[in-house]
């Protein structure tokens, strides 16, 4: 796939920023669990937080291929920053663009696209992850308000974001057709956040519960129409999965590059370990794995830019790239030997950061369901409860 001059310029801009600003601080931020607030502010100024938003709403109106390229470069330097960028860009900005009223777009989307504040998406619950229709958070109509009660779990940016798109049941008896979406801000009474999760990786990105206890939300904060929440959630899946696939690609490339550099410098038995056939085959497998992911990511992004249906391609990209990142970071750690198991070398962080990639934005098993349904053309009906 041949990139355009503009796409290459965007990739170069993102690469220069990420290598200069994000990479030098990534290890320290990981160890201190430090949110990259200043870096995100700079990313907003560069247009990296509103890449897919039209210019009339403060965005850059870029294509999905350019977005995937930029995402990969950010992830190459810091996966924690990349996941914040993905949720904010792909899901939150995209949902407001597709379903927001003009007033909501002016109030929320414009400053979001400029990076003035970060938004998060709240779908998962303690007992509802891959099956969102089983959520138990409710929103009961009370005059000009909806009263929300329930708990949202695993929310990226739960402690730091200023806006949340929250899914809740407005009709508990209507399965997925009874879900609605709401725009929640921190000033609403009855809304609070839970403790910070002590995560294995991506530690500079906070994850918390969102807690709702008789939280009164103005009715004009509904995103889309009542009962459209499931559609809101599903509409951003292709963008979100392409984003996480691109994140996985960047992380896998970083691990490969570190392994190659180390193997040329590390000497055993009087020669660099890169001279050993067994290790060379490992590098060949890693490079092929990364390149296959790159082509799948760019293919899905290009298909979306053509306004063609790309659910299968997005799931294929997310499935392969996330699994690739886990394989390649593991192999990179192996090449480093005992040093790879210490925090002295970045592959230790890469290995931890990669693990969640096969879980969020739809597990690998969910991706396989999507792909199989598309290939076989026989989407299975939802099981009755």
From residue 382, give the alpha-carbon distance in Å to each of 175, 266, 284.
Answer: 10, 54, 42
Q: SS3 sequence, the chain? A: CCCCHHHHHHHHHHHHHHHHHHHHHHHHHHHHCCCCHHHHHHHHHHCCCCCCCCHHHCCCCCCHHHHHHHHHHHHHHCHHHHHHHHHHHHHHHHHHHHHCCHHHHHHHHHHHHCCCCCEEEECCECCECCCHHHCCCEEEEECCEEEEEEEEEEEECCCCCCEEEEEEECCCCCHHHHEEEEEEECCCCCEEECCCCCCCCCCCCCEEEEEEEEEEEEHHHEECCCCCHHHHHHHCHHHHHHHHHHHHHHHHHHHHHHHHHHHHHCEECCEEHHHCHHHHHHHHHHHHHHHHHHHHHHHHHHHHHCCCCCHHHHHHHHHHHHHHHHHHHHHHHHHHHHHHHCCCCCHHHHHHHHHHHHCCCCCHHHHHHHHHHHHHCCCCCCCCC
Among the listed residues 125, 258, 348, 361, the single catalytic one is 361
From residue 57, give the alpha-carbon distance in Å to each of 9, 51, 108, 117, 176.
Answer: 23, 11, 10, 15, 30
Q: Give the tokens for residue 190.
A: 């009855």
Identify whether 361 is a catalytic site residue: yes
| Residue 164, beta-bridge partner list | 120, 184
From residue 257, give the alpha-carbon distance in Å to each of 69, 140, 204, 346.
Answer: 17, 53, 22, 11
Task: For residue 314, report the phi and psi dihedrals to the nearest 5 degrees.
Answer: -65, -40
Cite the active site residues.
361
């Amino acid at each position: 796939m041949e990139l355009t001059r503009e796409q290459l310029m965007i990739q170069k801009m993102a690469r220069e920023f990420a290598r200069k600003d994000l990479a030098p601080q990534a290890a320290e931020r990981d160890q201190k669990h430090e949110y990259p607030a200043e870096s995100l502010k700079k990313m907003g100024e560069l247009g990296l937080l509103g890449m897919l938003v039209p210019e009339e709403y403060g965005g850059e109106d870029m294509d999905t291929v350019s977005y995937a390229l930029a995402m990969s470069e950010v992830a190459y330097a810091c996966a924690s920053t990349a996941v914040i960028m993905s949720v904010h860009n792909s899901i939150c900005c995209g949902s407001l663009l597709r379903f927001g009223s003009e007033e909501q777009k002016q109030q929320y989307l414009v400053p979001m696209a400029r990076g003035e504040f970060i938004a998060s998406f709240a779908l998962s619950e303690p007992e509802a992850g891959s099956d969102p229709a089983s959520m138990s958070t409710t929103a009961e109509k009370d005059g000009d308000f909806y009263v929300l009660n329930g708990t949202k779990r695993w929310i990226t940016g739960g402690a730091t974001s200023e806006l949340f798109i929250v899914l809740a049941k407005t009709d508990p008896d209507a399965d997925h057709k009874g879900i609605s979406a709401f725009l929640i801000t921190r000033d609403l009474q009855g809304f609070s956040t839970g403790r910070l999760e002590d995560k294995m990786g991506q530690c500079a990105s906070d994850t918390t519960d969102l807690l709702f206890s008789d939280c009164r939300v103005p009715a004009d904060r509904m995103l889309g129409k009542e009962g459209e929440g499931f559609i809101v959630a599903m509409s951003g899946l292709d963008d979100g999965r392409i984003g996480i696939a691109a994140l996985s690609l960047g992380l896998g490339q970083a691990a490969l590059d570190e392994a190659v550099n180390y193997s040329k410098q590390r000497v055993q038995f009087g020669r660099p370990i890169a001279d050993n056939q067994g290790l060379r085959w490992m590098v060949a497998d890693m490079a092929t794995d990364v390149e296959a992911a790159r082509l799948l990511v760019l293919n899905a992004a290009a298909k979306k830019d053509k306004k063609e249906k790309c659910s299968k391609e997005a799931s294929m990209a997310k499935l392969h790239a996330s699994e690739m990142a886990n394989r390649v970071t593991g192999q990179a750690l192996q090449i480093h030997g005992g040093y790879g198991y210490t925090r002295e070398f970045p592959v230790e962080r890469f290995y931890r950061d990669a693990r969640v990639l096969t879980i969020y934005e739809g597990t690998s098993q969910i991706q396989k369901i999507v792909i199989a349904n598309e290939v076989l053309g026989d989407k299975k009906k939802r099981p009755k409860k």
